[in-house]
Structure formats: C-alpha cells, structure tokens
C-alpha cells in the first residue's frame, strides 16, 4: 500500500457542491489512492434538492455528479480504489443508476454501485413531539411549510455496501465524516463498535471533508497568512495507519500549503465543544489530538478520544421561507449617485403611499459607489456609474413581483438615464433542526450489480 506497509490512502474529491473539479481529477490520476470521497452536501443543499425534485426541476441529486466522476473513475476504478459520495442528495437511487450508466459510457468494466437510503425521515418523524433547536417550537408548528426532513446517518450502511462488494457508494444525508470512515473501517477491518478506532477514523474524515480548506484555501489572507498557488490549489489526502494515526499530504507542485496552522483551523471548524464533538457514529474529545508538522506539506495527526455514541440523530428540516426579490437599475455619468438616491426615494414612497407597505422592508444598496471613480478625481468624487440594488425577502409572492415591477417602472418615470434593469424572484428555503431516536431510522444499502 502507498504511504507505508499498512497505510490506506484516502483522498477528497469535493468539499461542497460547488467545489472545483480539476483538483480531484489530478489527485485521482497522480495520488495513488485507495479511496476517494466526494462531500457535496450542505444542510440547505439537500432541502433545495428535495424542492427541485418536488417541482420537477431535477431528479434530486447533484447535477455535477457526472462531471466529477467522469474525470476520476477512469483512474480510480482500474486501480481497485473505492468511491463514496453524498451527492445522491434527495435521490441516491437515481444517482446510482446514472453512475452505473456513466461507467458503461466511459468504457470501464462494470462494477457494483450502491445507493444508501433511509435518511429521509419525513414520514416517520413525530412532528408534534420533534422540538426545534432554534426556538422550542415543534415541526408540527411549521405546518405545510415543511419540505423535507433528513437525518444524519452514520457509516454503517456505507460500510455494508463496501462489504457487499460495491466500488461506488452513493448516499444522501449521511454525516460528512462517514464518507471517509466507511472505506477506512472496511480496509482496516475495524468494527464501528470499536469506538477508539471509530474516533480516529472520524477525525480523518473531519479533517478531509472540506477539501481545499485543509490546504489553506479558507485561511488565506494577504500579509497575514499567505498561501501560494491558490488558482491551482491541491486537494489533500491521508495515509491512515493500522494504529489509527494519519499523515496528511497533497500532490507535489500543487498550490496551497499544509501545515499545523491549516490543520488546526480545520480541526476546529464547525466545532462547538472540542471536548464533545458529536457525530452519528461516535462523540469525540479533540483536546488530546496531536499535530506534528513533518515538513514538505506533510502533517501527522492522531489522538481522537471517544466519548460514547449518541442515542439520537440530528435531523435537518427544510422549510419554505418565502421569496427573495432582487432588482437593480444602473445610472451613469455626472450626478449618477444623486439620481440613484432619487430612485431610492421614489420606490420607497410608492411602497408606502401607493401600496401601503412598510418601506423599511426594502434593503437598498449602491453597487459601485466609489469603485468606478476616475484615478484623477479626488476621494469622495462621484462615481462614473452606480447600480442601485433593491432587495426584499417576503412571504408574499405578489410583493416580490411588485418590487421588480416598481424598479422596472423607473425606466421612464424618473429619474433620468436609468438603464440595465435586472430582476429576479426566487423561492427561498430555510433550515431548522431537531432530533430523532436512532432506532427509528432505517438506513440501508442497495447494491446494483
């Protein structure tokens, strides 16, 4: 195995749904990986996927999944590497079928592909007793605004899929770390009942899950924390040893930096209590973790301590959160800022006097104020062009449309010289959280031969 006799090398191919694709291609090609995980879900992402599926806008899984795998599977599958991802979002089964078709189209030998289901708990959640973290209300209090309810499931169904021979495993709302935990546990022959090993493997997943954040992408700040080569930032991998420790690295020549500072930043990322970080598989005490810089973008990390396993799982509940209207109009030339301010006054007055609504609802900003000032003009001089941006978040769809119409009406109803109106109205999705008893969640893997 690469990285040592007993080491298992696992890399990350995505840290969020909009992540770059080319660093994963390079890592799959040149990294000598035994496994690659693609973490593609934020909390809001799966609710948006559920909404898209409900409205027929998509099948409910990550639309970039094919592009991500098209450049990586030809390097990973011939080398017996396994792939895990949560890009199945709201429809892992359809995603698995699509990936199986992609493998055929790429001319690769067929391999078993698995879909992990059971995280969708909308029909089994006791809404009347499921209390929200945010304000103490229950899910039932949200009424028909509820779109989705997805529990954070652990690594067991992914591990089951690998043990049944799956080479690609596609899940929905599993924990981010589970994508890494399952391949590590499978290779090393560890049981999830061994909480010491589970904690160490979960630490690996936590450090890798955000991809380029571990190699400096989220820390870069000119003059304070310089990171070279961000335009070609390399994604990290970990060589996991039989004792649970891991050495993290990136491809030679790739951009970014990997050292104690970037590792510590990611270790503390999204951590409320470092003495009790809860995941579906294990609670972890991070306070004894050691970080040793080996030089050359290589860092050794170990020391996660288990603190039991939660009896309940977190559930992300997606809710309809109204409409967001955004409307912009541009003014250019002498006095453009004054004309923009007059446009604001007109819209506010009409909002209150014609429509009888509260003008304080409107968020108004001036894009380009002082950013397009000629170099020869002193500070504070009028810009050459500004765009007045009107925004409104409202539960009333007609009010969202009304704002867009009012801004468009400025074309010929004053002030002078307005142009380039751009408007949009989008339905927004919010996220609230609750718990569900672990034994109510029936997570399982279906392997497609």
Q: What is the pLDDT of residues 160-193, one digit of tens each?
A: 999 999 999 999 999 999 999 999 999 999 999 9
Mean pLDDT of the chain: 94
Q: Report the alpha-carbon angle 429-431-434, nearest 5.
A: 150
What is the average pLDDT across 256-277?
96
Q: What is the pLDDT of residues 110-134, one digit of tens each?
A: 999 999 999 999 999 999 999 999 8
Cα 109 to Cα 302: distance, rounded to the nearest angstrom = 38
What residue spans define the domains of the chain?
Answer: 8-118+153-310, 318-432
Burial degree of 285 (CB within 10 A; 0-12, 13-18, 19+) = middle
Pairing type for strands 283-285 and 305-306 reads antiparallel
What pLDDT score was predicted for residue 3?
41
First to last CA, the chain: 27
- Written as six digits, the tokens of 152 are 């954070």
- Architecture (CATH level 2) of domain 318-432: 2-Layer Sandwich (3.30)
Q: DSSP letter at 335? A: T
Cα 320 to Cα 432: distance, rounded to the nearest angstrom = 11
DSSP state letters, 95-137: HHHHHHHHHHHTTPPP--EEEEE--B-TTTS-TTT-B-TTTS-
Whether the bond into 415 is cis, omega within 30 of 0: yes
In angstroms, the Cα distances linking 261 to 182, 213, 293, 409 are 27, 11, 9, 53
Whole-prediction pTM value?
Answer: 0.91
The answer for residues whose C-beta is within 8 angstroms of residue 356's C-beta and 6 or more apart is none
Q: What is the pLDDT of residues 397-406, one digit of tens each?
A: 999 999 999 9
Phi/psi for 311 (5° steps) reads -85, -15
**Residue carrying the six token digits 């000032």:** 373
């Amino acid at each position: 195995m690469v990285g040592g006799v007993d080491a298992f090398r696992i890399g990350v191919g995505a840290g969020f749904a909009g992540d770059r694709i080319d660093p994963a291609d390079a890592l799959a090609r040149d990294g000598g990986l035994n496994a690659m995980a693609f973490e593609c879900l934020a909390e809001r992402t799966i609710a948006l996927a559920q909404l898209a599926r409900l409205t027929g806008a998509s099948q409910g899984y990550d639309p970039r999944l094919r592009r991500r795998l098209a450049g990586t599977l030809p390097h990973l599958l011939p080398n017996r590497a396994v792939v895990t991802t949560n890009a199945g979002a709201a429809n892992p089964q359809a995603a698995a079928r699509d990936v199986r078709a992609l493998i055929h189209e790429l001319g690769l030998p067929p391999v078993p592909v698995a879909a992990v289901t059971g995280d969708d708990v909308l029909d089994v959640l006791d809404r009347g007793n499921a209390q929200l973290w945010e304000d103490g209300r229950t899910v039932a209090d949200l009424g028909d605004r509820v779109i989705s309810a997805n529990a954070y499931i652990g690594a067991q169904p992914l591990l089951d899929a690998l043990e049944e021979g799956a080479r690609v495993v596609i899940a929905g709302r599993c924990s981010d770390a589970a994508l890494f935990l399952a391949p590590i546990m499978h290779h090393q022959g560890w049981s999830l009942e061994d909480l010491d090993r589970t904690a160490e493997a979960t630490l690996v997943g936590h450090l890798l899950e955000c991809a380029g954040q571990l190699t400096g992408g989220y820390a870069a700040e000119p003059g304070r924390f310089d990171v070279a080569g961000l335009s070609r930032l390399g994604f990290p991998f970990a060589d996991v040893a039989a004792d649970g420790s891991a050495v993290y690295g990136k491809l030679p020549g790739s951009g970014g930096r990997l050292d104690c500072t970037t590792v510590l930043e990611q270790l503390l990322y999204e951590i409320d209590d470092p003495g009790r970080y809860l995941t579906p598989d294990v609670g972890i005490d991070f306070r004894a973790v050691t970080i040793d810089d080996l030089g050359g973008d290589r860092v050794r990390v170990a020391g996660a301590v288990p603190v039991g396993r939660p009896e309940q799982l977190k559930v992300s509940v997606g809710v309809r959160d109204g409409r967001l209207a955004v409307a912009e109009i541009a003014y250019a030339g002498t006095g453009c800022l004054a004309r923009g301010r007059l446009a604001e006054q007109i819209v506010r007055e009409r909002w209150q006097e014609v429509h009888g609504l509260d003008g304080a609802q409107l968020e108004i900003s001036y894009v380009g104020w002082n950013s397009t000032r000629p170099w020869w003009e002193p500070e504070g001089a009028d810009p050459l062009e500004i765009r007045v941006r009107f925004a409104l978040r409202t539960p009333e769809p007609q009010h969202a449309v009304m704002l867009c119409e009012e801004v468009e009406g400025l074309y010929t109803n004053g002030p002078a010289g307005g142009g380039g109106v751009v408007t949009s109205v989008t339905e927004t999705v919010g996220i609230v959280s609750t718990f569900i008893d672990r034994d109510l969640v029936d997570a399982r893997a279906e392997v497609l031969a």
